Structure 1
Amino acid sequence: MHIEPFSVYISEGEIEGLQRRLHETRWPLASPSEPWQRGVDTNWLRELTRYWADGFDWRTAELALNAQPQFTAQIEGQRVHFVHRRGVGPAPYPIVITHGWPGSFFEFYSVLDQLCDPAAFGGDPSDAFDVVVPSIPGFAFSQAPTQPGISSFQVADLWASLMTGLGYGRFGAQGGDLGAGVSIALASRHPQLVDGIHLNFLPGSYQPALGPAAPPLTKAEEAFLRARDQWAMLEGGYSHMHSTRPDTLAFSLNDSPVGLAAWIGEKFRAWSDCDGIIEQSFSRDELLTNLSLYWFTQTIGSSMQMYWENRLQPMRFADGQRVLPPVGFANFPKEINHPPRSWLERTFNVAQWADMPSGGHFAAMEEPTLLAAEIRRFFKPFRS
């Protein structure tokens, strides 16, 4: 596996081009509804756009991104970008953490210090991790797939090769959103490498075996499935579009930075524990760093392809099929679904379960201290 150091750099011409497009936005007529009722609020988006064009300093964001050690690796013909932060402690434990959509590798910048250098936060240095945060193919600086068929399962195969290529014979995995699917696929397909996985989300396509030999659904499971279906009907339009017509949507989002900000910004509000005020959970600079990564790398279209591929390769388990490595689950209160523990136990050995006091879908950004503590607690038994 060939590895090279990597630094983020965006040309002045690209920065100026973004600012020009922002200044020349054609704004639609506001709808006759309450703010956020029918989608993104126009006034909020106008303010964010003004700041993106005239206040946000990409060079400062770029310096912050480059403060973490980054690399690219050639794996089976695929260029993969990743952060690789070594832990500060006597024997750091290796873990691969996978982002989701509409996030990026930047999601985990708030949690890296706490995982890699716990002593700096008053913790035990023996709890340190070596953390690898790859960008999923088609996100940020990882090459977009050139052939169809790259779902969570194939990404998991790439991560297995990446981690072994970095010299880790056994390791843990963590993720939410798409990253949860990749982590489950790692545990399912590579149990000889993966000690355990920690999740803060359960993929919507996850389906345990429900044949004649399976126990009947509990009332809690029935309520969860009803709530999941209702959420998909009222809030899942984005996912249906991504998984059925991603190429059509890509033309508009790749051409309009304000359209991109609307499509992604709404999700950061709807899926986070922010009480309807996005800036209570994320600073504007954080939101725009993530948005700018999609814009400058022109990967909004390729990022949506994962939904298409995961629809064709859903996370379904057959009768008697179980995932052997143990699972930890952090259930954040404002997450978009809340499976009961029994729903996971139909397939997984659930070794740790925590109902979290606060936080939502973007747990690593919203509650990095809480998430880091759960990750440390789950993986502690594997350090020996």
Structure 2
Amino acid sequence: MLTNSNLSRLIATTALLIVTGLPMSSHAETAATTTPAADLSMKRPDDKSIRQFQYHATDEELADLRRRISATKWPSQELVKDDTQGVQRETMRKLAAYWSTDYDWRRVEAKLNSLPQFVTNIDGVDIHFIHVKSKNKNALPMIVTHGWPGSIIEQLKIIDPLTDPTAHGGTEADAFDVVIPSLPGYGFSGKPTELGWEPGRIARTWAELMKRLGYTKYVAQGGDWGDAVTEQMGVQAPAGLLGIHTNMPGAVPDEIQKSLDANKPAPANLSADEKRAYGQLDFFYEHGLAYAQEMTARPQTLYGVEDSPIGLASWMLDHDAKSYQLIARVFDGHEEGLTRDDVLDNVTLYWLTNTAVSSARLYWENKLAFFAPKDVKLPVAVSAFPDELYQAPESWAKQAFPNLIYYNRHEKGGHFAAWEQPEALTSDLRAAFNSLR
């Protein structure tokens, strides 16, 4: 007989198993365009052109956002003094007060529009991407993929250090060309109008994007869904892909997963690092999967977060315990790896592009076990941050990736590595891919 605890664990585990720039002259089409995100899903199967892109929210959209925040119908306060009942009301009130009065979307909009952004149609969906080329002609191309509840906002802080390393403590030999696409259904990319857009298909789309950009050799990086896509690129090993880097690897051994599924204590023979990782996974399965369960099973039901800015923000803040606690401290006035503007830049992008539900469908589409090894044979590099959903031990990484070329266990940082700890991640990427240049 299943106890309530075991039944909860079984449901949670099942949910996780089926979820968790270029110069103008080099493009076929060079006329500057401003393309609303809502118009990006038109199918043009024979059109392989690369079109310039910028985004400008209307004053009416921004005024409506502020009005909706101010008109929030607040729930009663949680009945506990911690976050065990969910995102705390006081945190959301502080977020709402700043969002509705002092927050300035135009600031990040100007930053985005200062970068080379493009759209190209691949497999019937318009794919938006940032493409910043280094001045160094020997730069290594890299495609970087965000996750949920992230976006291209996550990677903005690593663009300059990667493309202009000499201005950021590196050498010319550290230079990268950087391609940062928006996942289908996210941000400025089109919303798929047919089923089948799971990580493997996105991985094939990214390979086509790099081919379309003229790259014959490149590397790939990602965390969260970015890891799922990047590892599938590693499995598929398209021509030109030299290796991958992940900051949330699928590296949990099968025997460990079976023990977690059975809700057993950590095996006695684990090292200290492995015991800590086991504890993190055990906590996540027990307490952190609510969002994934809903989006895996019923993503279309999330009308509330599509209609309410505060509903959307609270849903996104509740991704994992450590990230939420960091963000709560930020809105209490503490200095952290993220700022209030960082957090709201990302949430506002989801709001303005109307992608709360379309992004959630990726959980429904996915059939891969998030943390299981995927049999990647290409060179793999791993950065392990302590406040990630689990900090992958080096022993597990070596077992999961037979061609592990780099591993670094960090003392600080969480789920949004590029966003929160850009210097650490940049340093890892330089070191990790040095041997593949």
**2:205 equivalent in structure 1:** 158
1:238 to 255, 268, 291: 291
Size of the aligned set, in residue pairs, is 373
SS at match of 1:274: helix
1:32 to 56, 71, 79: 79
Shift in CA distance, 67/291, structure 1 to aligned 2, threshold 3 Å: same
1:381 paired with 2:432, answer no
Distance 2:340 2:377 in 1: 41
Residue 202 of structure 1 and its aligned partner are, at CA, apart by: 2.1
Residue 54 of structure 1 and its aligned partner are, at CA, apart by: 1.2
**1:105 equivalent in structure 2:** 152
Distance 2:318 2:372 in 1: 33
Contact 1:329 1:354 in 2 (8 A): yes
Distance 1:160 1:145 in 2: 18
1:219 paired with 2:235, answer no
Q: Map residues 161-172 of structure 1 onto 2, 5 A cutoff.
A: 161-172=208-219
User: Counterpart amino acid of 1:290?
Assistant: N
1:117 to 156, 159, 164: 164
1:76 paired with 2:96, answer no
Contact 2:291 2:319 in 1 (8 A): no
Contact 1:272 1:362 in 2 (8 A): no
Identical-pair percentage: 35
Moved more, 34-43 or 351-360: 34-43
Contact 1:173 1:196 in 2 (8 A): yes
Distance 2:169 2:368 in 1: 44
Contact 1:4 1:72 in 2 (8 A): yes
**2:347 equivalent in structure 1:** 291
**2:304 equivalent in structure 1:** 252
User: Counterpart amino acid of 2:192?
Assistant: P
Shift in CA distance, 178/75, structure 1 to aligned 2, threshold 3 Å: same
User: Counterpart amino acid of 1:219?
Assistant: L
Distance 1:10 1:363 in 2: 28
Shift in CA distance, 218/179, structure 1 to aligned 2, threshold 3 Å: farther
Contact 1:90 1:126 in 2 (8 A): no
Per-residue Cα deviation, 1:125-167 (whole angstroms, up to 9, x for no partner): 2211000000000000111111112111110000000000000
Distance 1:86 1:137 in 2: 23
Shift in CA distance, 6/218, structure 1 to aligned 2, threshold 3 Å: farther
Q: Return the TM-score normalized by structure 2.
A: 0.80
Q: Map residues 251-270 of structure 1 onto 2, 5 A cutoff.
A: 251-267=303-319, 270=322
Distance 1:191 1:112 in 2: 24
**2:262 equivalent in structure 1:** none
Shift in CA distance, 232/91, structure 1 to aligned 2, threshold 3 Å: same
1:301 paired with 2:348, answer no
Per-residue Cα deviation, 1:332-378 (whole angstroms, up to 9, x for no partner): 11111123233333342211110112111111111111100100111
Distance 1:64 1:192 in 2: 33
Distance 1:121 1:236 in 2: 38
Distance 2:221 2:255 in 1: 24
Distance 1:222 1:18 in 2: 45
Shift in CA distance, 227/291, structure 1 to aligned 2, threshold 3 Å: closer
Q: Return the TM-score normalized by structure 1.
A: 0.91
**1:213 equivalent in structure 2:** none
**2:97 equivalent in structure 1:** 50
**1:8 equivalent in structure 2:** 55
Residue 223 of structure 1 and its aligned partner are, at CA, apart by: 7.0
Distance 1:217 1:302 in 2: 43
1:352 paired with 2:406, answer yes
Distance 2:117 2:269 in 1: 46
Distance 1:256 1:233 in 2: 28
Bigger RCO (CA 8 Å, 6+ sep): 2
Per-residue Cα deviation, 1:244-300 (whole angstroms, up to 9, x for no partner): 11111x201001000111111233763378396135221111111100000000101
Moved more, 14-23 or 160-169: 14-23
- Over the aligned positions, Cα root-mean-square deviation in angstroms equals 2.4
Which structure 2 residue ranges, 5 or more long, are not aligned?
Answer: 1-47, 257-266
Per-residue Cα deviation, 1:30-78 (whole angstroms, up to 9, x for no partner): 1221142311121121111111111111112211121221100111211
SS at match of 1:147: coil
Moved more, 32-41 or 251-260: 32-41
Distance 2:200 2:121 in 1: 18
